[in-house]
Amino acid sequence: IMKQSEALNLAQSADPTVTGIVSSKQIARLWAGMGSIVSIKCKTSGSKTATIIAKQIRCVNPKSFGDKRKAASYRVEAAFYAHYSSELSKVGVCCQGLHTEDDEKGAITILMTPLPNPTLHYMNGDVAKAAVRSVALFHAYFWGNEKADAAVKQGLAEQGTYWYLDTRIDEYDGISKHGFSGRLKRAAREIDEALKTHPYQTIVHGDLKACNQCLAANGKYTSFVDLQYCGKACPAKDLAYLFVCGIDVGNDFEKHQEGQLLKLYIDELASHGVGKDNQAMLPTVEYLREALDLAYCDLYRWMCGWGVWGNNFLEGRAERCLDVVLHRIHSAKK
């Protein structure tokens, strides 16, 4: 339970007009016991009330590789809220960061506005389209190597997502050497390198599960939370994860819906200025689908070592496109 004095200090750090605390309530615990999320209801001058969300991380002296990865991810999230949430919250794709603190010893606090709606359990239909529009808007803000590299210098991750190969060596070592899994394991480095050097680069969210999103106030977009794994990557990595682990899809997804969502994504990118700069071209559906094939194989590589979950088209898609993906990689090297 948060002491009232602590809640008041935090609330006043976020909003100097706060005069008192009405209540504070823990609404979530963080992974591996590394902290909690608290909702603070407070009084402000003029007898108004406001709600402030406090994400408090306590990760002192992490020992394991996984704990070190999580500790680093919270610093990334703090950097996002400090530098980028103010602008992106105006269009509804994230909460506004109000204040961040980092004692450099493992204690990090992020204060932010509350979500406009409850987080989602599943996404389909118009909500799935809203999610794709949000991903495109988010990507457009950082589109191209120049903008993405600048964001990395501000504290976002050098590699976005939580399943990229360099951070999942234990899972990689656990992949069978036989059958399709073995073939994918042997191709993993080439696929990883192709994604790192792909012409399409941006800052990705990196964990676009349904429960990390809610419907934005305007209904056109979804709002993102848990921005721990946002960093530089090929944008197809976000799309692959969203299509496999975020939205609910039908049996005709690969034949119809995937192409429709990719076109929606590209149209949204264009509406936010992507393609106007010669250094950062607007994707085509064909080339974006090729990038998506790479990203599907990369995502399935991680799942082969971790455990397969999400929409069940992924395994078949990876099996069908691995040879094609490798042919494209090898042809590009000639």
How do residues 10-25 score in pLDDT, each as one tens digit?
999 999 999 999 999 9
From 61, 84, 112, the end of a domain falls on 112
> Do residue 67 and residue 201 come from a single domain?
no
pLDDT at 31: 83
- How far apart, in whole angstroms, are the C-alpha atoms of residue 241 and residue 247? 9
The answer to whether the beta carbons of residues 268 and 136 sit under 8 Å apart is yes
> Do residue 188 and residue 268 come from a single domain?
yes
Is residue 166 one of the residues assigned to a domain? yes
Binned at pLDDT 50, 70 and 90, residue 33 comes out as confident
Q: Is 57 or 59 the better-scoring residue by pLDDT?
A: 57
Is residue 118 one of the residues assigned to a domain? no
**Strand ranges, E, within the chain:** 18-29, 35-44, 48-58, 97-102, 107-112, 202-204, 213-215, 222-224, 231-233
pLDDT at 194: 98
* pLDDT, average across residues 290-306: 98
pLDDT digits (tens, 9 = 90+) for 180-198: 999 999 999 999 999 999 9
Is residue 117 one of the residues assigned to a domain? no
Top-confidence range, 65-79, 202-216, 247-261: 202-216
Confidence check: pLDDT of 29 > 70: yes
> Do residue 171 and residue 104 come from a single domain?
no
How high does pLDDT run on average in the chain?
95
Confidence check: pLDDT of 278 > 70: no
Binned at pLDDT 50, 70 and 90, residue 143 comes out as very high
pLDDT at 306: 96
From 112, 145, 178, the end of a domain falls on 112
Confidence check: pLDDT of 279 > 80: no
> Do residue 70 and residue 44 come from a single domain?
yes
Binned at pLDDT 50, 70 and 90, residue 334 comes out as confident
Q: What CATH number is attached to the domain comprising 74?
A: 3.30.200
Q: Is 151 or 251 the better-scoring residue by pLDDT?
A: 151
> Do residue 60 and residue 200 come from a single domain?
no
> Do residue 316 and residue 167 come from a single domain?
yes
> Do residue 137 and residue 17 come from a single domain?
no
Is residue 119 one of the residues assigned to a domain? no
Q: What CATH number is attached to the domain comprising 171?
A: 3.90.1200
> Do residue 87 and residue 129 come from a single domain?
no
> Do residue 84 and residue 151 come from a single domain?
no
Distances, alpha carbon 247 to alpha carbons 66, 126, 194, 257, 272, in Å? 27, 11, 26, 11, 23
The answer to whether the beta carbons of residues 295 and 240 sit under 8 Å apart is yes
From 112, 133, 149, the end of a domain falls on 112
Binned at pLDDT 50, 70 and 90, residue 142 comes out as very high
pLDDT at 280: 81
Is residue 120 one of the residues assigned to a domain? no
Count of the separate structural domains present in the chain: 2
> Do residue 152 and residue 16 come from a single domain?
no
How large a percentage of the chain has pLDDT more than 90? 88
Binned at pLDDT 50, 70 and 90, residue 32 comes out as confident
Confidence check: pLDDT of 314 > 70: yes
> Do residue 105 and residue 225 come from a single domain?
no
Is residue 175 one of the residues assigned to a domain? yes
**Which residues fall within 8 angstroms of residue 202, CB to CB, at 6 or more apart?**
139, 140, 142, 143, 144, 147, 148, 232, 233, 235
* pLDDT, average across residues 253-276: 95
Residue 229's domain comprises 125-333
> Do residue 99 and residue 243 come from a single domain?
no
